[in-house]
Structure 1
């Protein structure tokens, strides 16, 4: 007996988005039954975090958007900032608590979606579907069966790769005593931070008003910092670079996103699939995941409603992944100066086109025009080197470091 047509494991951005797309009846479409399984309150439930993305006009989750910006700015280590208008795009920020609340309201009135607070123990294929063993909040074991399972929980370890960098960050939501932020412009990358010996670092500022912003310190490198290291780097950035003056820290967030050319499988059983960051939705060269998982969950929901086999697509094209592999290798080898390369792109490529490129939405001709604005020699050498490099496993960060991001 099948308990549900669809079991969605994990209620991060991917799990919530898929459940939201499947909620309710649509005329002329199949309405599958859905069970959303989320970890009970405790160590397995991820802390609050933010997701950012760009899109034109209104979007599906605008009611949960904390703020959006029509302009972006990149600051080189020295010299004038690079600033531009995104039109017709907008850069948007969603906080996980707000997305959870928005989707929760929809699911509470949906006739076909149920929720269960439980810890997933095992998932296995069985004839005609999959079996999921869970432990509920009271410690009772239970077995669920589903025709299809979509697992968005974080990977326990990363697949073997030729190159893996970690994008790791620590941020403060701050309120300042004086008005210091331009609420119409987000600082995407501020390279006026001390650069590490290996990789790159930058500040990230998302203002929500003249006195309030999310301010983060971010690194692309082979390993995360200590908690004290993040605090010191962020304090140096807010005090010495931004010169914010007196401020109050309202809340914090810490995260770690793998940037890797590993092949992340999206199908792990006849009826079991991975979605979100666990299913390869993260763009390797940027760490952005939210837009990719929306493309993935949109396709899965459409297939389920049409009665087709719901294999999650790769939200990033083979060409995009090949270009990302070259960039990651150039950065990891030290051949390319990360801040110089990125500032050069933002200075020489129209901002809307560059963002479409970073989202994998450009044509071959546009990709070539962007590629010609990167340092050709180190990129070409990295491209020629890649086929001969072995894929090696990457050690998971130690337990006292930030967990892998989920989405």
Structure 2
């Protein structure tokens, strides 16, 4: 963990460099991904089977590639009742939140008599990547599939690394209405969704987080399909005053540190004594944390405490542009309203980031690695597309034609100009 003081000489360069040092895709990862994508595109299921054996130590076959409906039902039934209830509770809140985002079609006639507008339509097919390995992630299923279903996506195909699927993941899939699940993970799963592989038909967009190989694969297939974002390690900034409970703040910092050794947790406070109490609480909690090994590595290598006037906190948050930021202060809106760059903002001492991960209703798929400067979290809009509508009658066309011709001729595009001029009887 690094300690920074806003008043230290060189803070403006040293702190941003510290925040940025986790970024980048190793060249060897990209080279492996390039070869995997090419193999799946050329060989289809045969490549998926080979990579499952090589990377996952799993004997994949065409027969067990798809998770059958009875396995989904049985897995969901095996999920503890309290977890199923929590999944249903979360799904209702996620669905309600995202349905409120639904935009309206619109048509209007402007001063030239031109009828204009737009129409929203859902994507035909979406692929959802659900990680395996470190833990079961039913929340990933819900956060990706529920908004897609709410948008009206016709086909939702879920991929997840082979092996025994956790009951909670299957319960979440059932709750979200996902019936197409494939036992394939890694870059090869991204390739199968993008290009198709045997019974896995290609999709129009791929969403969902994954490791460095999955992220590199999504970067490479973009253009063939759409993607949601390039996910990096998780991030949290907690802005807290000395009246906050240091145990609570320590738990919030570790809630992201436990995700990955490369995750980043940063505390900004104006109270140095409070910062010391938080640091002590972090050490105590790490000793009792089942995920303590990853969390300790994250806190040691990428964690930070910044001592700064709270009035400077919004500017520091914008500099970091974090995935999550909490304002655990007396008047959180006073600071939060000045923040421009953050994936999600949590207001007050009783709004920990963890509720956003699961049940608040907002989406937990959020921009990382400073992408909050130019992008937003996953939403209903990721599963919709907008089509422009233009209608001209003769009078409206006559109002637009002269400028159309002039601009087309200025750009050296005579066929464009003729397309308008011919309608005005000016040429053939």
TM-score past 0.5 threshold: no
Q: Of Structure 1 and Structure 2, which has the larger fraction of its residues in strand? A: 1
Q: Of Structure 1 and Structure 2, which has the larger fraction of its residues in helix? A: 2
TM-score scaled to structure 1, two decimals? Answer: 0.26
Structure number with larger C-alpha Rg: 2
